[in-house]
Amino acid sequence: MQLKPYLFAISPVFMVACGDGTNPFDPDTLSVQSSFVTPGTDGTFSSTLDNVRGKRDIDASGNGYAYQVGTIDSSLTLTANAGTVSASTLSTPPTTGTTTLRGTYSAETYLNARVESGAITGDRLSHAGTLQLTADFANNTLTGSDADLTVNGTISSGTLSGTVTFSGITGDLSGNMGATQAIGAFHGTTTDGVMAGGFNVSQ
């Protein structure tokens, strides 16, 4: 079986001293990281995390997103991954006009993380909600928000990039953009927390 590389972009890794607070190489130092990772067509990830939580949201056409949040206990690393699943090509977006897209999103946060007795602990929450976004094809933007999630996307040749802010954490956005549908995945970090999630919206 040939293994394919999945890791695309990794956010800066933060290290928080949770031991005596004076040695950055203290064995109780927490590391925090997040990245885009392409899941398989069923939404599963090749990498295995400890204490993992996540979600796969794939529609009837095989398009969607997946994410996972967990720990790497051997290195005291808090990790979040997210990526889109693209089984079929979305229709080519136009170059003029606007449209409103509605759908759902979900996300996972792990905040206020710290090391206690050699293990990572913190505040974990799963989130879900509805979302309305506006695609402005003339200006190549996809924007909108609800109470917790703000999307500032850039459209380019059927792909999405840009940023999101979720529960106060700013992160990176990646995804696919069609004429009537948009699929996005996102991730981000703070010095002691991570978040990851995704959305699927359509006309």
- Whether residue 39 lies inside any domain: the answer is yes
- Whether residue 1 lies inside any domain: the answer is no
Q: Which residues pair with 169 in a beta bridge?
A: 166
In this predicted structure, what is the pLDDT of residue 3?
38
Strands 77-86 and 29-37, sheet pairing: parallel
Among all chains, which residue has been given the structure tokens 């796969």? 56
In this predicted structure, what is the pLDDT of residue 87?
80
CA distances from 82 to 23, 55, 60, 177 (A): 32, 10, 20, 17
- Whether residue 12 lies inside any domain: the answer is yes
- Whether residue 2 lies inside any domain: the answer is no
In this predicted structure, what is the pLDDT of residue 89?
82
In this predicted structure, what is the pLDDT of residue 13?
53
In this predicted structure, what is the pLDDT of residue 129?
96
For residue 157, give its domain range. Answer: 7-202
CA–CA distance, 58 with 62 (Å, rounded to integer): 6
What's the whole-model pTM score? 0.87
Give mean pLDDT in consecutive 10-residue pieces for the chain, a chain of 203 residues: 41 48 62 97 94 96 97 98 90 96 98 96 97 98 95 96 96 97 98 98 97
State how many domains the chain has: 1
Strands 119-136 and 98-116, sheet pairing: antiparallel
CATH number at residue 17: 2.40.160.90
In this predicted structure, what is the pLDDT of residue 15?
54
Residue 147 CB: number of other CB atoms within 10 A? 7
Q: Which two tokens stand for residue 192?
A: 């002691």
